[in-house]
């Protein structure tokens, strides 16, 4: 089982997609089938955390078979980071199916087929340990997502789909070039081999810098890191609800996952050398994203910009190379998937009723829709980073790590807690509080059973992940330590070169007794 479990988790959705294609065009049947398939994939993925050894670094459940020629392998494996991102994916897809239950009534079969293919591709990205395989999965996510936006989106869907496609496609080319270069040098696509090859100092530092940038640009667009983020608001506003949930919930994490796995994991020295400007961009993203979110007149656009801000935290955490910062970044990836996924689901539910995301159409909705308002509040509070909910754990660790790295990073990053409260509470007020401005809003129906069922898992996860984070950390922590080991050495070496004699007053600053 151990050897085949990752293959099963990855390809059950794709196999399900084929089954779906063969089924008759009965929308009801198709919906149930899609739900069932995604739940089976989720059930299989549960196997991973149960059997993942704690406090253990390195990849588990590996499968390594020759695939094309003898250099391209079918090589999958999971460590504490990729495992949880896989679970995030399998967790969100059934919910995406549920929120599409009624909102998709045209070309239902194609919709769910695309959704399931997308799931396979996303999981593959997280689990692939062969760079060729990784690239195939990476590009494979593009087409179903672009089609989901382009075929099932709102008015400007084609523009948004093309923009999304072009942006990420162009950026991916640089990564492809980097992968090919590495292959030409080493005749290998294997992650561990290439990593060792780079660490052993086989490449000139100039070449490594180019490789680093090649990977970086592909991932930075996906994250998206400021200033490469402008595809995101358009894509989100136009995408159907399920598309937004998976786009924000999973696709963006592919970017941050790539940064961690490849940019930091494979090129630790270059990561350390480039961390300065990357962190500046991340912090600009945190503040800028929040400020722009603050003035959006449109619910979905606001959530989209909030993602720019939240993902800034993740990038900041990754490029501090501290244990706390990177642990927090990984946790924040999961948190953002859960809570922003929830926000998009909620936005979709109100869209189904009102067919608009504009705030001016809302106000006072807490009166006709108390259950909806409560779920929305939980999602908002999770995003705000309220302690005992999931968002706080990640945010706190990221900022604490950033502060240990450079105080100013921590301070500027922490200002994000103020901005976050501003735009999220502003949003909540515009939708739910104040007088009801539209007469027809007084009779809006509250959430039905299906909608509540799709939200309960998220609400429960928000609380559980906020209260028992050590359960996740016991597998995330060692995986992060493994990736960071090299980069921390590089950072220390770089710092040592620029070391200045400690100022005299440091006797006051240093802890008494030195106990730690």
Partner 1 sequence: MTDASLHLWMIPLLPLIGAGINGLFGRHFRNAAVSFVALLFTAASFGYAVWAVVQGLHLGNLPYIETGPTWITAGNFSAPFGFYLDQLSMVMVLVVTGVGFLIHIYSVGYMAHEGGFYRFFSYLNLFMFFMLTLVLANNYLLMFVGWEGVGLASYLLIGFFFLKDSAADAGKKAFIVNRIGDFAFLIGMFLLIKHFGTLNYDAVFKSVSNMPTESGWGLLTAIALLLMFGATGKSAQVPLYVWLPDAMEGPTPVSALIHAATMVTAGIYMIARSNAIFSRSPHALEVVAIIGCLTAIFAATMGMTQTDIKRVLAYSTVSQLGYMFLACGVAAYSAAIFHLMTHAFFKALLFLGAGSVIHAIGGEQDMRRMGGLRKLIPKTHFVMLVATLAIAGIPPFAGFFSKDEILGQVFSSPHGSKALWVVGVITAGLTSFYMFRLYFMTFYGDLKLGKVDIGEEAHAANAPAHAQHGAAAHSHGHADDQAHGHGRVHESPWVMIGPLMVLALLSFVGGWIGVPAFMGGGNNFGSFLAPVIKSGAPTSPTAMEHVPEAAGQPQEEKQENPTEEWGLAGISVAAALIGLFFAWLLYYKNPGLPDQITAKIHGIYLTVLHKYYVDEGYGLLFVKPLLGLSTVVFWRGVDQGVIDGLVNGAGTASKSIGGELRRMQSGNIRSYAAWVAAGGAAVIAYMIWLGVSK
Interactions with partner 1, residue window 299-358 (CB under 8 A): 322-324, 327-328
Closest approach, Cβ 509 to partner 1, in A, equals 5
Closest CA to 474 of 140, 79, 117: 79
Q: Which is nearer to partner 1, 263 or 296 (CB)?
A: 296
x/- mask, partner 1, residues 82-121, rule CB under 8 A, reads ----------------------------------------
Buried b (16+ CB within 10 A) or exposed e, 165-201: bebbeebbebbeebbeebbeebebbbbbbbbebbeee
Q: Which is nearer to partner 1, 201 or 227 (CB)?
A: 227
The three-point CA angle 52-395-392 to 5° equals: 85
- Return the bridge partners of 73, or none: 66
Task: Determine the interface stretch with partner 1 among 23-31, 101-109, 192-200, 410-418 (rule: CB under 8 A).
Answer: 410-418
- Work out whether 436 is an interface residue with partner 1 (CB under 8 A): yes
Question: Residue 201, by phi and psi: left (phi above 0), alpha (psi -120 to 50) or beta?
Answer: left
Measured distance CA(205)–CA(309) in Å, rounded: 32
Q: Which is nearer to partner 1, 129 or 399 (CB)?
A: 399
Write phi, then psi, for 354 (nearest 5 degrees): -115, -15
Closest approach, Cβ 13 to partner 1, in A, equals 20
CB 402 within 8 A of CB 316: yes
- Work out whether 295 is an interface residue with partner 1 (CB under 8 A): yes
Burial class (CB in 10 A: 0-12, 13-18, 19+), 513: exposed
- Work out whether 274 is an interface residue with partner 1 (CB under 8 A): no
Q: Which is nearer to partner 1, 58 or 370 (CB)?
A: 370
Which structure tokens are listed for 28? 């009801």
Enumerate residues 440-469 that contact partner 1 by CB under 8 A. 467-469
- Work out whether 2 is an interface residue with partner 1 (CB under 8 A): no
Enumerate residues 361-400 that contact partner 1 by CB under 8 A. 364, 366-367, 370, 381, 386-388, 392-393, 396-397, 399-400
Pick the binder of partner 1 from 111, 432, 454, 490 (CB under 8 A): 432
- Work out whether 8 is an interface residue with partner 1 (CB under 8 A): no
- Work out whether 501 is an interface residue with partner 1 (CB under 8 A): no
- Count Cβ atoms below 10 Å from residue 418 Cβ, excluding itself: 10
- Work out whether 158 is an interface residue with partner 1 (CB under 8 A): yes
Q: Which is nearer to partner 1, 12 or 459 (CB)?
A: 459
Q: How far is CA 328 from CA 22, 216, 316, 482, in A?
A: 44, 21, 10, 15
Which structure tokens are listed for 185? 């040098």
CB 282 within 8 A of CB 315: yes
The DSSP code for 197 is H
Q: Which is nearer to partner 1, 43 or 166 (CB)?
A: 166
Pick the binder of partner 1 from 309, 475, 477, 483 (CB under 8 A): 477
Binding residue count for partner 1, defined by CB under 8 A = 91
Pick the binder of partner 1 from 68, 460, 493, 502 (CB under 8 A): 68
Enumerate residues 132-151 that contact partner 1 by CB under 8 A. 132, 136, 139, 142-143, 146-147, 150-151
- Residues listed for the chain: 516
Task: Determine the interface stretch with partner 1 among 28-36, 77-85, 290-298, 349-357 (rule: CB under 8 A).
Answer: 290-298
The DSSP code for 153 is -
Closest approach, Cβ 325 to partner 1, in A, equals 8
Q: Which is nearer to partner 1, 278 or 393 (CB)?
A: 393
3-state SS, residue 177: helix
Residues 6+ apart with CB under 8 A from 511: none
Closest approach, Cβ 414 to partner 1, in A, equals 5
Measured distance CA(145)–CA(147) in Å, rounded: 5
Closest approach, Cβ 75 to partner 1, in A, equals 15
Enumerate residues 207-266 that contact partner 1 by CB under 8 A. 227, 230-231, 233
Pick the binder of partner 1 from 36, 417, 444, 494 (CB under 8 A): 417
Closest CA to 391 of 320, 449, 314: 314
3-state secondary structure 465-503: HHHCHHHHHHHHHHHHHHHHHHHHHHHHHHHHHCCCCCC
């Amino acid at each position: 089982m151990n050897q085949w479990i990752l293959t099963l988790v990855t390809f059950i959705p794709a196999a399900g997609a084929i089954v779906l294609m063969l089924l008759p065009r009965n929308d009801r049947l198709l919906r149930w089938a899609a739900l069932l398939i995604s739940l089976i994939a989720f059930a299989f993925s549960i196997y991973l955390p149960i059997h993942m050894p704690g406090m253990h670094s390195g990849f588990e459940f590996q499968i390594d078979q020759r695939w094309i020629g003898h250099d391209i392998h079918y090589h999958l494996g999971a460590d504490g980071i990729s495992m949880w991102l896989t679970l995030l994916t399998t967790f969100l897809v059934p919910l995406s199916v549920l929120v599409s239950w009624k909102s998709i009534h045209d070309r239902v079969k194609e919709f769910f087929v695309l959704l399931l293919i997308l799931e396979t591709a996303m999981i593959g990205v997280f689990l692939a340990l062969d760079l060729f395989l990784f690239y195939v999965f990476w590009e494979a996510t593009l087409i179903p997502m672009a089609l989901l936006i382009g075929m099932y989106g709102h008015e400007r869907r084609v523009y948004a789909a093309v923009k999304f496609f072009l942006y990420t496609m162009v950026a991916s080319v640089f990564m492809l070039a980097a992968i090919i270069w590495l292959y030409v040098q080493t005749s290998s696509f294997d992650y561990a081999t290439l990593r060792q090859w780079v660490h052993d100092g086989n490449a000139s530092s100039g070449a490594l810098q180019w490789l680093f940038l090649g990977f970086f640009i592909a991932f930075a667009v996906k994250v998206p890191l400021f200033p490469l983020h402008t595809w995101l608001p358009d894509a989100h506003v136009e995408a159907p609800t399920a598309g937004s949930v998976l786009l924000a919930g999973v696709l963006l994490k592919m970017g941050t996952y790539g940064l961690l796995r490849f940019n930091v994991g494979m090129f630790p020295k270059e990561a350390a050398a480039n961390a300065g400007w990357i962190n500046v961009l991340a912090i600009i993203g945190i503040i800028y994203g929040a400020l722009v979110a603050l003035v959006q007149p449109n619910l979905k656009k606001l959530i989209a910009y909030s993602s720019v801000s939240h993902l800034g935290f993740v990038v900041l955490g990754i490029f501090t190379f501290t244990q706390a910062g990177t642990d927090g970044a990984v946790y924040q990836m999961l948190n953002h998937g859960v809570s922003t996924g929830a926000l998009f689901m909620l936005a979709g539910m109100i869209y189904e009723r009102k067919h608009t995301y504009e705030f001016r159409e809302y106000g006072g909705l807490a009166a006709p829709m108390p259950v909806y308002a409560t779920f929305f509040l939980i999602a908002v509070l999770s995003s705000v980073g309220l302690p005992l909910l999931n968002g706080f754990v990640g945010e706190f660790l990221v900022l604490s790590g950033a502060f240990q790295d450079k105080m100013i990073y921590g301070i500027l990053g922490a200002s994000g807690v103020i901005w976050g409260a501003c735009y999220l509470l502003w949003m909540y007020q515009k939708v739910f509080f104040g007088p009801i401005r539209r007469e027809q809003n007084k009779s809006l129906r509250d959430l039905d059973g299906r909608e509540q069922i799709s939200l309960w898992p998220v609400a429960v996860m928000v609380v559980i992940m906020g209260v028992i984070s050590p359960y996740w950390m016991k597998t995330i922590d060692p995986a992060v330590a493994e990736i960071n080991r090299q980069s921390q050495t590089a950072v220390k070496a770089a710092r040592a070169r620029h070391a200045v004699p400690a100022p005299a007053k440091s006797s006051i600053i240093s802890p008494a007794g030195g106990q730690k």
